[in-house]
Chains A and B, each alone.
Chain A
């Protein structure tokens, strides 16, 4: 039994780590939302394994160890093989709107990545089915392994490349195969195959097979096509794959929002691509600020025309462009916050000479932190807080960010920024200008909501906005803009041929002078948002521009169903960019998963000869389906709740995910005892667990925001430990309902076990996408409440 439990632990470790790793790798070669879609569908392998075991139960049971070992071996081999094959499918996500063949390629991607998850799930499902007297222990090791896997992959990505991490995980799965193969009747041939597979993994894979084939339409490959460009270095971490590129023959000259009137040209730059896209630049600086004349001619320079030697906080410093902007425009001091230590490392170490030791400048202090966490912890006050423009125009314009949670542009974030701004100081946010405006107006709506929450009576007197042909810069002042201020704004805009989009008492005719729009969209929009009919305007606007909040942190979600028929009809007339693709992809993912689930799981199961009591299928099927949905709903919602506290999405995912899985494992191990204790009483152990889950979740929703605010200043290590303690009791209770139900099935309808496993797996697949959809529409609090409702229904179902 020990060997089996250890093998289960290894398989679960490899499976969850592989899932996270694939998400990273597919996000690098494609785009994040397609990676999400492919993995979601591939996870249906879990559901299908239940069907497969149910159909072939007799055969599989007769030689359990052999089939477990073979499944584990196939999991190990297909992990790598499917990655290699998947890379050769000529899928181009961007062409999907134009070329129906791309849908076929996408389907092939699903099928390819379905295979390894199917074999991994077969191992666990077989163990539940064939060793049903040990269900709670098996589930404990399954969850424990998953918890270890989540931490392992994050840690390993710090040390190894994604490709080497893949090989390592394949070896972990191979060990599981070896453990079980040792007990099988076909020990020798199995060992030979395992050895062959191991040698191939270690020595036999050509580098070309393992190389990531990044889409040729991503920024990195576009840059590499330019004559004379070179990759200077590549570095990988869980935060992203960084590639530094030089282009000496045709320089990058990256300067969004640069005035037509400028007589300056950007100096030499190095481009830094994260995951093959999202370009930031490191600009050559030799200590002579005069060489950076163009930095005075961009819309982002506006706040410096209003402030004298300001103390500046830059959120999202990247390669240092905004730091140079601040220094060129006379900042007294600069605090620069950047999340990714690799990027700061480039400026402080690798390319320090090129960057003119910018981050060693006595006026500059660099903080490698998450921006919101830094602001929340800081006790300093600034004259200017500048949120840098870090996303690329292409990403911003093609709606690929809609599913990304973003805590920089929420009502609560704006409030925090303004609370750290001195009287007379300001917050400056530069965004790409899209037409008709989406994020520019959503930002204004979010700022206005923050100002109203702060009790500001006339928020319109604190706003100013200018625009170039492709950027807009919004200023929010801590105080009201004076007549002198508005004169400076007008003069700055006019001298650069920028248009004023809004300032207090601005006449309508001043809104459209240099860069003509068919309507002065921004002026009209801001004026309407400030008016009495703001709610009506937000409702009637064809894009979703209601304020983003920490509970619904989807700043880049602009989709409205009512607009879809109109924009789809405009697709061939150049209107494709009006469609917010990632929301539609999310919906498509849910529909596809449901349809695939019916064909892979429900349909085959309906054909199986039933050997269980009447009503078991519907009742217990519903029970395991509800559990699958509810567990992940809570897990996903709490990952989000902890992101701000742990100040880092990576820590949050690793700590919260591992915490949930491991402590749910302990709950599972304890569930048998609990069931035994309450056996003689009227109480159902599931009801006890669900009451525990509900009480703790509701308590946390009420207390966590205040608790987090109070404890924000603690050291990271302490916050991680505290988070684990907070997660432990909730996860402990959440680990119980599944094994209790499965034990019940084992006693009353053992043939139903593989089906319960499959249905639960299928629900988990649906759950991740559904949780995102619910969070976008109703917020994360609603996701938790919804999950509690599902748990309650499950408790009623099993009690009856």
Chain B
């Protein structure tokens, strides 16, 4: 009898702890969103546009702590990249927000992601668009992300293990493409799978340091123009004396 009572107490305690944890996480998440907004506002003061409200809302909804390993959870809502194993990271929230904002997501969009990673970027997109197709080249990550996204209820995300170079012909063309994996060049097949008027975004730099973002736009007549977007406004010349 005593044992059973103890078991009930333990279960209650665990449930309460979990609830308290969830509350802590949602406060931390709100603080993270505020931080990203703060930095975006700083960027706006120096001439850049503010981040889209829907993007910020999605950032405030997706439970980033569910996309990192348990020993990294306490860092989940810090504005920084976090290792997810296999030499990969979950990107800095500020960069995720900026990249998502740059593809100008709309409700009816079908988006292709190259490099599923933890699935966090796909989850952010899933709140904003009709469907996300995501390809991962690392088997373990692909399996984990698939299970995780299904468990968290992101049923408008479809993932697969495979070569991202050729995109996903079956579901092409896409309104937008996000390439999270590093590449020495932009795969031409991906450009072909982008709808006229569509946008592709590629972060450039190392795993822990995004250097700049490459925004590729395909005009209505199929011409390709790219823009290098610095994550942060920085004028390389001091004022003349």
Which residues of A line the B interface, CB within 8 A?
92, 94-95, 97-99, 216-217, 221-222, 225-227, 249-251, 253-258, 260-263, 265, 393-394, 397-398, 434-437, 469-470, 497, 514-518, 521, 536-537, 540-543, 562, 566-567, 570, 572-578
B72 nearest CB neighbor, chain A only: A99
The answer to whether B237 and A515 have CB atoms under 8 Å apart is no
Residue of B nearest to A516 (CB): B227
Closest Cβ of chain B to A776, distance in Å, is 21
Neighbour of A253 across the interface among B165, B210, B234, CB < 8 A: B165
Query: Distance (Å) between the CB of B219 and the closest chain A CB?
Result: 12
With contact pairs A253-B165, A258-B184, A469-B226 given, residues A436 and B232 touching in the complex (Cβ less than 8 Å)? no
B185 at the interface (CB under 8 A from A): yes
CA distance A345 to B75 in the complex (A): 47
Q: CB distance A516 to B226 under 8 Å?
A: yes
Contact B226 A518 (CB under 8 A): no
CB of A732 to closest CB in B, whole Å: 47
Q: Does B123 sit within 8 A of A, measured CB to CB?
A: no
Q: Are B231 and A262 in contact (CB-based, < 8 A)? A: no
The smallest C-beta distance from B33 to any residue of chain A, in angstroms, reads 14
Q: Give the chain B neighbours of A575 by CB distance below 8 A.
A: 231-232, 234
How near does chain A come to B121, taking the closest CB pair, in angstroms?
15
Instruction: Select which of B79, B83, B165, B211 is within 8 A of A572 by beta carbon.
Output: B79
**Counting CB contacts under 8 A, is B138 at the interface?**
yes
Contact at A572–B39, with CB atoms within 8 Å?
A: yes
Are A398 and B87 also in contact (CB < 8 A) when A227-B137, A435-B212, A516-B226 are? no
**Residues of A close to B235: CB separation below 8 A:** 542
CB distance from B42 to the nearest CB of A (A): 7
In angstroms, Cα B236 to Cα A541, docked, is 6
Q: Do A540 and B238 form a contact, CB below 8 Å, given A254-B184, A517-B228, A577-B209?
A: yes
CB contact under 8 A between A227 and B185, given known A575-B232, A577-B205 = no
| Residues A260 and B224 in contact, CB atoms below 8 Å apart | yes
Q: Is A574 within 8 A of B210, CB to CB?
A: yes
Is B153 on the interface with A (CB-CB < 8 A)?
no
Which of the residues B184, B188, B236 comes within 8 Å of A542, measured between beta carbons?
Answer: B236
Shortest C-beta distance, A251 to chain B (Å), equals 8
Question: Within the complex, what minimum Cβ distance (angstroms) separates B51 from chain A?
Answer: 12
- For A567, the chain B residues whose CB sits under 8 A away are 234
Interface locus among B2-10, B92-100, B101-109, B144-152: B92-100
Contacts of B234 in A (CB 8 A): 436, 542, 566-567, 570, 575, 578
Query: Which residues of chain B are near A537, meaning CB under 8 Å?
Result: 237
B window 184-241: CB within 8 A of A: 184-188, 191, 204-212, 214, 216, 224-228, 230-232, 234-240
- A264's nearest neighbour on chain B, judged by CB, is B188
Whether the pair A216, B87 counts as a contact (CB closer than 8 A) is yes
Bound complex: CA A225 to CA B85 (Å) = 10
A393 to B80, CA, bound (A): 21
**A574 in contact with B98 (CB, 8 Å):** yes
Q: Are the CB atoms of A94 and B43 closer together than 8 Å?
A: no
Q: Give the CA-CA distance A219 to B157 in the complex, in Å.
A: 29
Question: Shortest Cβ distance from A432 into chain B, in angstroms?
Answer: 10
Please name all residues of chain A whose beta carbon is closer than 8 Å to the beta carbon of B240 when the two chains form the complex. Answer: 536, 540
Instruction: Determine the chain A residues whose CB is within 8 A of the CB of B169 once the complex forms.
Output: none
Query: How many of B's residues come within 8 Å of A, CB to CB?
Result: 59
- CB pair A573 B232 closer than 8 Å: yes
Decide if B238 touches A397 in the complex (CB within 8 Å): no
Task: Evaluate contact between B211 and A434: CB separation under 8 angstroms.
Answer: yes
**Contact across chains for B188 and A263 when beta carbons are under 8 A apart:** yes
Closest beta carbon of chain B to A196's beta carbon, Å:
38
A254 to B210, CA, bound (A): 20
CB-CB under 8 A from A98, the residues of chain B are: 78, 80-81, 208
Most buried by A among B98, B186, B216: B186
Task: Say yes or no: A225 contacts B138, CB within 8 Å.
Answer: yes
B181 CB to nearest A CB, Å: 10
A-B pairs with beta carbons under 8 Å apart, 8 shown: A216-B85, A225-B137, A257-B185, A394-B205, A470-B204, A514-B225, A537-B237, A542-B237
What is the distance, in angstroms, from A400's C-beta to the closest C-beta of chain B? 9
Q: Given A227-B137, A536-B240, A573-B231, output 11 extra A-B contacts at Cβ < 8 Å.
A: A99-B80, A227-B139, A265-B188, A397-B209, A435-B230, A516-B227, A517-B228, A537-B237, A540-B237, A574-B210, A578-B232
Task: Check B170 for interface membership: any CB of A closer than 8 A.
Answer: no
Say yes or no: A256-B186 contact (C-beta < 8 A), given A397-B211, A541-B236, A573-B94. Answer: no
Which B residues are in CB contact (< 8 Å) with A434?
A: 211
Interface-centre pick from B94, B226, B235 (highest chain A CB count, 10 A):
B226
Chain B hits for A256, CB < 8 A: 184-185
The residue from B88, B208, B216, B236 contacting A543, defined by CB atoms under 8 A apart: B236
B206 touches A225 (CB 8 A): no
Collect the chain A residues with CB atoms within 8 Å of residue B165's CB: 250-251, 253
In the complex, which of the residues B85, B87, B139 contacts A222, with contact meaning CB atoms closer than 8 Å? Answer: B87
With A256-B185, A257-B185, A572-B94 in contact, do A435 and B211 touch (Cβ < 8 Å)? yes
Min CB distance B58 to A, Å, is: 19
- Complex interface: chain A residues within 8 A of B22 (CB): none
Q: A216-B87, A217-B207, A577-B211 are in contact. Are A250 and B163 (CB under 8 A)?
A: yes
Check if A497 sits within 8 Å of B184, measured CB to CB: no
Docked Cα-Cα span, A119 to B205, in Å, equals 43
In the complex the two chains form, is B87's CB within 8 Å of A225's CB?
Answer: yes
Contact at B231–A574, with CB atoms within 8 Å?
yes
B184 touches A260 (CB 8 A): no
Cβ of B212: which chain A residues have Cβ within 8 Å of it?
435, 577
- In whole angstroms, what is the CA distance A250 to B136 when docked? 11
Instruction: Say whether B30 faces chain A, with CB atoms less than 8 Å apart.
Output: no
Which residues from chain B contact A469 at a C-beta distance below 8 Å?
Answer: 186, 214, 226, 228
Any chain A CB within 8 A of the CB of B161? Answer: yes
> B75–A99 contact, CB under 8 A?
yes
Is the beta-carbon distance between A221 and B232 smaller than 8 angstroms?
A: no
Question: Provided the pairs A222-B87, A225-B86, A516-B226 are in contact, do residues A398 and B163 lie with their beta carbons within 8 angstroms?
Answer: no
CA of A498 to CA of B94, assembled, Å: 30
| Min distance, Cβ A180 to any Cβ of chain B, angstroms | 47
> Which B residues are in CB contact (< 8 Å) with A257?
185
Q: Complex: how many Å from CA A79 to CA B236?
A: 47
User: Residues of A contacting B211 with CB < 8 Å?
Assistant: 397, 434-435, 577
Identify the closest chain A residue to B183 (Cβ): A253
Q: Provide the residues of chain B in CB contact with A437, threshold 8 Å.
A: 236
Q: Is the CB of A92 within 8 A of B83?
A: yes
The 6 closest A-B pairs by CB, nearest first: A574-B231, A436-B236, A258-B185, A216-B87, A577-B211, A575-B232
Q: Mark B152-191, 1 if CB is under 8 A from A, else 0.
A: 0000000001110100000000000000001111111001
Chain B residue with Cβ nearest A441: B236
- Report chain B residues within 8 Å CB of A217: 87, 206-208
Q: A254-B184, A260-B191 are in contact. Are A573 and B237 (CB under 8 A)?
A: no
CB B80 to nearest CB in A, in angstroms, measures 4
Partner of A226, one of B80, B137, B206: B137
List of A residues within 8 angstroms of B94 by Cβ: 572-574
Report the Cα distance A217→B182, complex, angstroms. Answer: 12
In the assembled complex, how far is the CB of residue B189 from the closest CB belonging to chain A, in whole angstroms? 9
Chain B residue nearest to A560 (CB atoms) is B238
CB-CB under 8 A from B183, the residues of chain A are 253
State the CA gap A250–B39 with chains docked (Å).
Answer: 38
A-chain residues with CB within 8 Å of residue B85 when the two chains form the complex: 216
A221 touches B87 (CB 8 A): yes
Bound-complex Cα distance A517 to B204 (A): 14
Is B92 a contact of A255 with CB atoms below 8 Å?
Answer: no
Tell me the complex Cα distance, A216–B84, Å.
11
Taking CB atoms, residues of chain B closer than 8 Å to A566 are 234
Q: Which residue of B lies closest to A468 (CB)?
A: B185
User: How far, in whole Å, are A298 and B237 apart by their CA atoms in the complex?
Assistant: 30
Contact: B39 with A255, CB < 8 Å? no
B31 → chain A closest CB, angstroms = 13
Q: How far is the CA of A512 from the CA of B80 in the complex (A)?
A: 33
B208 near A541 with CB under 8 A, answer no
Residues on B with beta carbons closer than 8 Å to the beta carbon of A227 = 137-139, 161
